[in-house]
Every structure is written in C-alpha cells, then in structure tokens.
Amino acid sequence: VSWFRVGDTAATDPRRLALNDPKDPLIGITCFGFLVELGVLSASNKTDYVLTRGFLIQAGGPAWEQLLRRCVRVGLIIPLGGRGHDRTWKLIDDAPELFHIRLKDEVAWERQQKSDTRNDRYRTTVFLRDGDSCRYCGVVVQPNDNRSGRGRTLDHVRPGQTARTADDLVVACRSCNGARGKDWQDEDARDGFDARWPLRPIPSPLIFIRSTVIELEDKGHQVPPGSVIAERAKTPTLDTPTADQHPTPVGVAEPTGSSAPECQHPAPAGVAAAESRTDRSPTDRSGTASPGRVGSGSGRVGSPARASPAHRSDPIPPRATAPRRTRRGRRSRSAGGSA
Ligand SMILES: [Zn+2]
C-alpha cells in the first residue's frame, strides 16, 4: 500500500492549475514536482504532511523560496508557524483528490491489527470461543474468504488498541468489520461507538465451518462437544441452524411475528456503516437502528426462537437471496484485520 498518493484528478484540479503562469511556462509544472517531492519526503519521514525547512530545500534547491511562495499563495502549502530554522509548513491535508499521505498512526495501527489477528495464540482461543459466527450481526462467516462481506475476519473490540488477550478480539464478518472501521474513523461520533456495536452473546451451540474444524485440529484442538459443523457458510439450504442466520431478504415476512430484526447490523442512520450495507432497504436500516432493538438481547443466535423448526424451515426465495450475495461478493473490501 502506497504511503503517498497523487489523486487521479490532481493534474486538472483548479488549485494545481492556479500554479500556472502564462509568462513562465515551466513554473506550474515545477511547483507540482516540488509538491510531489515534498509529499514523498513527508511520507517517508512519517511527518503526517508537516514540512520542515530541510524538506523544502531538498525538494526545491536554490528555488525553494520562490516555489514555496507560489504554493502557499494558491493554498497547496499552509504555513504552520515557528521561527527561522524551526519554521514548519504543511502540505494541504484535506484534499485527498490531490495528495494523500497515510498518517503515522494509521500505518502503525494497521500493522498492529495484522500482527494481532495473525497471532495463533489469539486465533485459536477466539475460534474455539466464537465458532464461525459474526459477533456483531450473527451471520455464519466463511473462513478463507478474503473478499466478500461474509468472509471471516478477526476484529478488535476496541479499535486502535493493541490486543492484550484473546478477549480483545472477536470473529466478525467482513461487512461488520469494515463498517465498524468506517464508523470509528468518524471521530465526532466516537462517544456512541460501543453502543452502536453491541456484541452478541456467544452462539450456543457453536457453529463451525469444516475448514475451521480442520484448522483447529491441526493445532491439536477439538471443537466443543455439541458444536454444529457446516461445510460452507454460503449455502442457504444447509439443514443446520446456519441457514437460519442468513439475514432474511427484505420483504420476507418475519415468520414468528416477533419484533426481532432479521439482521442486527447495528448500522446507525447517517454513519458509514449504513453506506456499506446498501443492499438493505431504508426501512430495514432504520429498523436496526432503533434503540429498542440494538443490543436488546433478542438476537437470533442463541435465542430460543432460532431453534424453532417452523422458523428454520421457512423457505427463503432464491431470487431474493441471490443478488445480495452477488453484490457483496463483487464488492472489494479493505477492512483491516482480515483473518
Ligand atoms: Zn457481521
């Protein structure tokens, strides 16, 4: 993953074009090269867009002050203050369509996520505890699926914090993991984050996909007695409780007449979580966001209603389910913490 990126539209951006001067045909392109070099210097030195005098001199050579003035005038470099050799500036940091630098903390956190979620000690404990069910929405996840929303990931319960024990990680579907990641990025809405993403109870019985059972056995572990073992998560006709945990397509009546929402992604209205679940109707989305439902403990996993044979045998129209999976499968997700 690149650390510094120039946006696709940067060359024609009005701010870039403002660097041009008809009387000096080279100045625009020279300034642009100057900015790119500064971006590279900031990224490689992990200064999060901050530019030192040394960077400016290195990038601009003897012309650095002239180039700097021009870039400051059009707003592509912002003076931060300081005096003499300690003066600093920053490259424009709120225009990813022009320049984007991955922040030091972002990079560090992504590394930490990978290190935690690949830690075998945690993985084994988490899988034996959660099985292959998403702890946020309850769907049965698909191990070894690195693309679709149903793919299995491990998610940090407290984003941004290094896992200290297996309790800090849970099994999550890629949809939930990605939506949580986006939600967390909204710093203004962090206060309600935990409330928006309540953990569901550990499913009982646990549900495992066969490949997880094999993975665990290879490490000398047996899944708990009574666990349900399924071949794949995606087949909606499995004669196991897994079939029951597919969110019922929008438009299919709740067979039990209970108020339990079919899919309990706690996607609150107005946050990115909702955006990532565009396969759901606004009605469905607002339903899951209602405070009475989220975290109400009426989850399908582990709830008595789930085991109801009438409920389980309720047919799910294939025409309603097929497009959902196709769309999810096509979507590329960049959620961190892929298992
Ligand atoms: Zn989920």
Q: Give pLDDT tens digits for 63-89.
A: 999 999 999 999 999 999 999 899 999
The rounded Å distance from CA 124 to ligand 1 centre is 20
The rounded Å distance from CA 242 to ligand 1 centre is 13
The rounded Å distance from CA 217 to ligand 1 centre is 25
The rounded Å distance from CA 257 to ligand 1 centre is 23
Helix, strand, coil: what percent of the chain each, to 5? 45, 10, 45
The rounded Å distance from CA 140 to ligand 1 centre is 8
The rounded Å distance from CA 137 to ligand 1 centre is 4
Q: Quote the tokens at residue 334.
A: 């960049």
Rounded Cα gap, residues 122 and 129, in angstroms: 11
The rounded Å distance from CA 4 to ligand 1 centre is 32
Hey, how many other C-beta atoms are within 10 angstroms of the C-beta on 228?
17
Residue 236 — pLDDT band, cuts 50, 70, 90?
very low
Quick one: pLDDT at residue 272?
38
Residue 90 — pLDDT band, cuts 50, 70, 90?
very high
List, for residues 261-280, the tens digit of each pLDDT value: 334 454 444 333 333 333 33
- Those residues whose beta carbon sits under 5 angstroms from the ion ligand 1 are 134, 136-137, 173, 176
Q: Are 130 and 152 in contact (CB under 8 A)?
A: no
The rounded Å distance from CA 58 to ligand 1 centre is 48
The rounded Å distance from CA 8 to ligand 1 centre is 33
> Is 283's pLDDT higher than 90?
no
Beta bridge partners of 39: none
The rounded Å distance from CA 28 to ligand 1 centre is 49
The rounded Å distance from CA 19 to ligand 1 centre is 47
Which amino acid is present at 251? G
The rounded Å distance from CA 151 to ligand 1 centre is 9
Residue 296 to residues 152, 184, 303: CA-CA distances in angstroms? 25, 22, 12
The rounded Å distance from CA 135 to ligand 1 centre is 7
pLDDT, the chain, mean: 77
The rounded Å distance from CA 27 to ligand 1 centre is 52
Residue 4 — pLDDT band, cuts 50, 70, 90?
very high
Residue 167 — pLDDT band, cuts 50, 70, 90?
very high
The rounded Å distance from CA 183 to ligand 1 centre is 14
- Judge if pTM exceeds 0.75: no
Residue 232 — pLDDT band, cuts 50, 70, 90?
confident
